Amino acid sequence: MYLENVDVPRLPDTVETCAEKVSLFENIVKTGLDFIIPLRSKTIYRSEPPWLNDKLKNLIKRRQRALAKGNMDPFRTLRNCVNRGRNICRAKYYEAKVSHLRECKPSVWWKEVKKLSSMSPASETRDDTSKLLQHLGFSPGDLANYINSAFLTPMQSFEPLTHNPFDPPQINNERHAVNTISEFSTFMKLSALNPSKPQGPDGIPLRPISLTPILSKLAEDRIVEKYVKPAVLQSIDPRQFGSIPKSSASQALVNMTHNWLVNTEGNGATARVVLLDFSKAFDLIDHSVLVQKLATYDIPSQTKSWIVDFLMDRKQRVKLAQDCHSEWRSVPSGVPQETKLGPWLFLIMINDLDTPADLWKYVDNTSCSEIVTKGSENKLQEAVDDLSRQASIDGFQPNEAKCKELRIGFSSSNHDFEPQVLNGKTLELVISAKLLGVATSHDLRWNMHTSELSRKCSSRLYFLRQLKRSGVAPSEPVQFYVTCQASLGIRKSCIPPFSTKLHQRRFQTDPKKGTQNHLS
């Protein structure tokens, strides 16, 4: 009806410029929309639940009027109708909120779950990084190059490898035998992959976060399992707990806490612990030093040559948006993270880091301690200086701002110790610190750790209650509990000495009661 009364073909001829014609056409469309579907006002109350609709509001009003008049039979009927309607509205609302997340990335799904459960503030805007940083005055391309340069600046002090020292010499235009990977062995490796793992963009079940190609990962796996791993395990420091078969962070924590507890309980001694932190440990590995250390291991020269080729001529770039990339720039140091070979190369770099004091190494997390009894001499500063000297020779850069000192003891009398100094800077003295993800206090109590664990469990239990109230299928709360709740409770609660399999079974049977029993 509206378009029949508007002479659309002739109206553009009444104006001259293209911009005026576009503006005229927009006015025609807006006027038509206002005529066909006019705007209507709607009052929204912030205190109302988001799933409340007009039909349910009317039922609630009728129920309240029946209650006010004393008509109990209609009141009971309307009350039941309101309860059923409330459950249906909740179920539809929450199911619609998460239904579109089944096919998206897990990280996006988890962000939406946190928003629904009030675990983090919801952001109203979702602009990409380049738009958020426009106030800096850079174009998106220049900004990407600036960020890439900032990442590579700490590496500029390292000299890149210019040749491969393990390349076999050429004799009569022939080279020595090299490692070969047949088509059949590649097929067998691909067939052995776990199909339950998240698939990458090419459909192969490997972690999408990995930056190296699939075939490169297969080659790395063969090199590590057949050559690197056996050679490293022959000479690995027994105080290294990371990336080692049949070892874990739990064993490292139990070993540390047992040592400190046994040597300080009831004798007035104090365990002085220095927690070392290296700046960008994986990114600031000197390739020249790594090659020298790699030469001392019982690894075939062809394999060593392959490893050096793997590290040489690597480049990186920064991506801010779909079509916004920085230029490719060379990476003169470091080992690629999220690779099969990276952790083992780091173990080779840090394996000879040694000191007479008690030492625990978990990949790039290093802790050293000394038990100081009454009247004895404190030699921990010498150990710290020695570790700092060895780290500087290998190219590691200690981050003095993040290195801490923790004093563990049960004596009521305070010992007067000189503060620990690292590279001329005094280390911060703390009463608690996180050791491999577990909050540890100066008296070896688990109060801080269990409080943090209880807080995280409570936020997830709240979302479980929301799912139950919304009336979703029973499989949905179970899936959320298995992926987000059970792993948090069991993995992080297995460290305290009071944790038992009974506590874990109670936790899985009844999360709320199990958490209270475990943390009480």
Please report the pLDDT score of residue 208 as a whole number.
33
Q: Exposed e or buried b for every residue in 351-373, given b needs 16+ CB within 10 A?
A: bebebebbbbbbbbbbbbbbbbe
Q: Which helix (H) or strand (E) holds 430?
A: strand 428-430
- 398 vs 279: CA distance, rounded Å: 6
Structure-token pair, residue 497: 């000495």
pLDDT under 50 in the chain at which residues? Answer: 122-126, 170-176, 197-210, 491-520
- Residue 485: strand pairing partners: none
In angstroms, rounded to a whole number, what is the distance separating the alpha carbons of residues 111 and 97? 12
Contacts of 146 (CB under 8 A, 6+ apart): 138
Cβ–Cβ under 8 Å, residues 372 and 269:
yes
Give the model's pLDDT for residue 488: 64
Alpha-carbon gap, residue 499 to 386, rounded angstroms: 38
The total number of residues shown for the chain amounts to 520
| pLDDT, position 283 | 86
For residues 449 and 433, is the Cβ–Cβ distance under 8 A? no
The per-residue pLDDT for 116 is 63
418-471, pLDDT tens digit by residue? 889 998 899 999 999 988 888 889 888 888 888 888 887 787 777 778 777 777
Establish how many alpha carbons lie within 13 A of residue 391's alpha carbon, considering only the half-sphere containing its beta carbon. Answer: 22
pTM of the model: 0.62
pLDDT for residue 120: 54
Q: What does the pLDDT read at residue 513?
A: 47
Joined tokens for residue 249: 């962070």
Tokens of 305: 């040559």
Let me know how many helices (H) and strands (E) the chain has, helices first: 19, 13
